[in-house]
Structure 1
C-alpha cells in the first residue's frame, strides 16, 4: 500500500558533496547513539554502544550479512578495512555481541535518527528526484515479520493458533519508505511495530499499525 505526502521544497542551502552528506548522516547517527541508556558490561565492556550500532547500520551500506567478515576479508586483501573511515567504528563487535547489545534497548531510542536524517536530505535537495509532478512524495507501506517461534515469546508478541492447538509467536512491523518509479534507491521512515495496544482486547494487526 502507499500514500502521497506533501513536503515543501528546501530553501537556501548549498548542496553537500556525496561524501560530505554521508559523513553528516553518520555523524548525526553517532550523536544520537551516544545517549543510549544501556552500556555493554562484562566481556562486552571493551566495545562501545556506538560501535555496535554503527556495525549494525553498516550491514545495509555494504549489503553483506556479516560486517565483521567483510572487514576481515578487506583487511586481508588490501591490508586495511574501511570500518573506521566510513563509520567511525574503532572495534568491530561480532554478530553475537550485536544481539546482546540490542536485546534490552528499546527501538524508541533509535527512532529520532530517522527524524534527524530526513531534514538533512530535504535541505540538501536529495528529495527532489523522488517528487511527483504535483510535488508530493510516495510513501509505500509493507508489513513483515522479523521473529518467529513456538517456544520463545514475550509480552510484545503477536500470536496465531494452529488447528493442532499449538501457539505460534511472532513479532511484526509495518515499514514505511519513500519511493519513486524509476529510482533504485528508497528512503526509510520510522517503522510502526505491531504490538499489543493498551485498552484493546483485539490483537494488533498491520492495518491498525499502518493507521497509527
Structure 2
C-alpha cells in the first residue's frame, strides 16, 4: 500500500491545516452592508473552532467566548483576529446568508495538500481486477426541521396538508480505506427540491462538485 498520512510532514500538522482553513475563510466576501466592529472572517473561524473543539452546543461555546484564556486560544490557534468572538445569535445572523459554496474551498484545499504530498496513494483500493480506485461511502443527514419557519430552498414534507413541514438535508462522503485510521472528508452537498417537481435530488454529481481539478 502507498504512503499514509505522516504527522512528521509539516503540511500535515494541525497548525498548518488550521491556518490553511483560516486563510480560506478570509476570502469569503463580507455581505454586511456597513463596516462592523468584528471582522467578517472571525465568524466562520469561530464556528470552525467550535466544531473542531467538539463543543457540546453553540450555547456552551457562547458561554466560554468571553473567557480571556479561551479568547487567547482562539486568536493564536484559530486566527480569530483580536480575540473578537461573536455571540451565538450574531454568528447565526451573519453566517446564515452566506453562500454554502464559500465553505467548500477548505475541503478542496486540504485534499490538495494530501494529493501533493503523495498521501492519497495510501487510500487506493485494489480488489481483484479493480485497481487505483477509492472507497467513498456517502450518507445523508438532516440539518433543519420546522413546521412554521422556511426559506426558498426548503424541502417540503406533507405539502398542502395541515401537518406540512419544512426541512434541509445534506449528503456527505469520505474517502476511506480498511487499513487507514484516517478518513478524508469531502465537502457536503445540499439535497434540494428540484424546480417544478417534488423529486428530491442532489444538485450536482458528487465528484463534479468536490474533486479538485
TM-score above 0.5: yes
Q: 1:159 to 1:91 in 2, by over 3 A?
A: same
Residue equivalent to 1:5: none
Q: Distance in 2 between matches of 1:183 and 1:67?
A: 32
Mapped contact 1:157–1:195 kept (Cα < 8 A)? yes
Mapped contact 1:71–1:82 kept (Cα < 8 A)? no
Aligned residue runs from structure 1 range 55-70, under 5 A: 55-64=46-55, 65=57, 66-70=60-64
Residue equivalent to 1:49: 40
Residue equivalent to 1:204: 200
Aligned residue runs from structure 1 range 78-93, under 5 A: 81-89=72-80, 90-93=83-86
1:138 is paired with a residue whose SS is coil
Give per-residue Cα distances to partners, 1:37-94, cap 9 Å, x unaligned: 235567x922122111111111232111343445556838xxx742122111121112
Residue equivalent to 2:211: none
Gaps of 5+ in 1: 1-7
Q: Distance in 2 between matches of 1:88 and 1:172?
A: 30
| Alignment partner of 2:115 out of 112, 122, 126 | 122
Residue equivalent to 2:176: 179
Length-normalised TM-score, structure 2 = 0.73
Gaps of 5+ in 2: 209-213
Mapped contact 2:190–2:203 kept (Cα < 8 A)? no
Task: Quote how far apart the aligned CAs of 1:24 are.
Answer: 2.9
1:170 is paired with a residue whose SS is strand
Residue equivalent to 2:21: 29
Q: Distance in 1 between matches of 2:11 and 2:206?
A: 35
Mapped contact 1:9–1:122 kept (Cα < 8 A)? no
The aligned length equals 195
Q: Structure 1 residue 161 and structure 2 residue 196: aligned?
A: no
Q: 1:126 to 1:95 in 2, by over 3 A?
A: farther
Mapped contact 1:158–1:169 kept (Cα < 8 A)? yes
Structure 1, 181-190 or 146-155: larger mean CA deviation: 181-190
Q: Distance in 1 between matches of 2:200 and 2:207?
A: 11
1:189 is paired with a residue whose SS is strand
